[in-house]
Amino acid sequence: MATITIDRISKSFGSVQALKGVSFDAKNGEFVVIVGPSGAGKSTTLNCIAGVEYPEMGTILIDDQDVTLMPPQDRDVAMVFENYALYPQMSVRENLAFPLRSPKYRVDEDEITKRIERVSGLLGIDVLLHRLPRQLSQGQRQRVSLGRALVRDPKVYLFDEPISHLDAKLRNAMRRELKLIRASLSQTTIYVTHDYLEALSLADRVVVLFKGEVLQFDQKEKIYNLPAAMEVGQLFGDPPMMFFEGKADENDSFVSNDRAFSLSNSGISGEVPVGTEVVLGLRPTEVNLVPEGKGQVKGKVYSVQNQFDHQLITIKAQNSLFDVVAAQDVSLSEGDKAWVNIPNEVCYFFNKETHKVIGSK
Ligand code: ADP
C-alpha cells in the first residue's frame, strides 16, 4: 500500500514541453486514471512515476519519500504496458514465474506457486499455464502480460494503455475483466488511457490531461457533470459536447452570436457582466426535440442518422448545428421544421479565451 503525490512536475523534450507543472495525488489503494488525447503527456507522467524519465522540476513522493530522482528498480513500482514481451520459449507458467525468480525479488517457490494460482485464476488463464505464447490468442497473451505484472505484488501499479490496441470486441471484454481485477487489487494504481469509457468504468478519481496540463482532477462523476473546461466536456461524452459562441445579455439571458437562439434565466448574469463573450456547451443527450413553438431554437432538420437504438438528429438554425439524441419513434426527415428545447440546468458556460468553466452550477 502506498500514497503517491505528484507536485508540479515539468518535463521537456528539446523544444516540446511535455509536462507543465502537473499535480495530482493518489491515496492508499486508490485507482486514479489519467485520461487525455494523444500527446497530452500521459505516458511521460507515468514514466516519471516509474523512474524511466526524470522531471526537470517538481517532486514525486511515494509514501512521503521523495523518489523524484530515484532509479526505477528502487521504487517498488510495477509498470504494465500493452505490448509486454513474453519469452517465446517459456510456458505461460514460466513467464509468470520469471520476474519473481530474479535475484532482486528472490520469492520462494511455494510463494511463487501460490501467486501464480491466484493471478492465473483471476485472469482466467489457469488452464493455459503449460502453453507457449505462440499457442495463445491475442487476448490470452494480453492477460499473461497483465499477469506478469500482477504476480509481482508491488507497492504501486502503473498501467500504460494496457488494452488500447485490442479489437473492439476484445476491448469490451477486457474492460469488464479489468473492472473485476481492479476490485481485487489493493495496491495504489495509476492507469493511463485515451478512452473516456475506460476511465469512467475503472477510476476512483480522474486526471484530465491536455497539452501537458491538468485541466481537472476530480471524482469521475464530477468530471462528467461539472466539466472544468471545454476540452473536458468534449472528451467525456458521446456524441461530444457542442459549443455555441454568444454573449451574456440583459435579464440573465444568453444570446448566440448568430442570433439563432436566446436563453432567458440562463444563470449567466450572476457570473459575468452583460456583453461578455462566452461559450455555451450543451450535450446532445441533454437537449430535446419538442412540439412546434415550445423550444428556444427553431430550425430545420439538417440530417438524420439512425444508430439502431436511437437517432442522432441534427437541426440547423442560422449557422448553429444542434445534434440531438432522439428516440427511434421520432419521425423527422431532412428539411422538416423542428424545435429544440434547452433546459437551463444542462447549460455549461465557458470563458471564450481560457476555455475554463464560468461559475459553478
Ligand atoms: P501521451 O502519452 O498523452 O500520448 P506523451 O507523454 O507520450 O503523450 O507525449 C507528450 C509529448 O512529449 C508529445 O508531444 C510527444 O511527442 C513528446 N515526447 C514524449 N516522449 C518523447 C521523447 N522521448 N522524445 C521527444 N519527444 C517526446
pLDDT in tens, 260-288: 999 988 888 778 889 999 999 999 999 99
Q: How many CB atoms lie within 10 A of CB 179?
A: 12
| Partner residues linked to 217 by β-bridges | 207
> CA of 88: how far to CAs of 85, 102, 131, 136, 161, in Å?
9, 18, 10, 11, 23
The Å distance, Cα 2 to ligand 1 centre, comes to 27
pLDDT, position 167: 73
Give the residue among 231, 215, 188, 214 at the shortest CA–CA distance from 7. 214
Give pTM, 2 decimals: 0.89
Q: Is 43's C-beta closer than 6 angstroms to any atom of ligand 1?
A: yes
Give the residue among 184, 193, 109, 191 at the shortest CA–CA distance from 153. 184
Q: Is 36's C-beta closer than 6 angstroms to any atom of ligand 1?
A: yes
pLDDT, position 168: 76
For the chain, which ranges sit under pLDDT 50?
none
pLDDT, position 83: 63
Q: Whose CA is nearest to atom 21 of ligand 1?
A: 13
- Cβ(99)–Cβ(148) below 8 Å: yes
pLDDT, position 153: 81
pLDDT, position 267: 80
pLDDT, position 55: 98
d(CA 291, CA 338): 8
Q: Whose CA is nearest to atom 14 of ligand 1?
A: 39
pLDDT in tens, 95-150: 999 988 887 778 889 999 999 998 898 888 999 999 999 999 888 888 888 888 88
d(CA 82, CA 33): 16
| Partner residues linked to 13 by β-bridges | 16
Map residue 335 onto helix, strand or coil. Answer: coil
Pocket test for ligand 1, best of 6, 10, 13 (most atoms within 8 A of CB): 13
d(CA 47, CA 38): 15
The Å distance, Cα 61 to ligand 1 centre, comes to 22
pLDDT, position 248: 93
Q: What is the phi/psi pair of residue 12, to 5°? A: -120, 150
pLDDT, position 42: 97
Q: Say which amino acid occupies 206.
A: V
Give the residue among 228, 233, 271, 236 at the shortest CA–CA distance from 252. 271
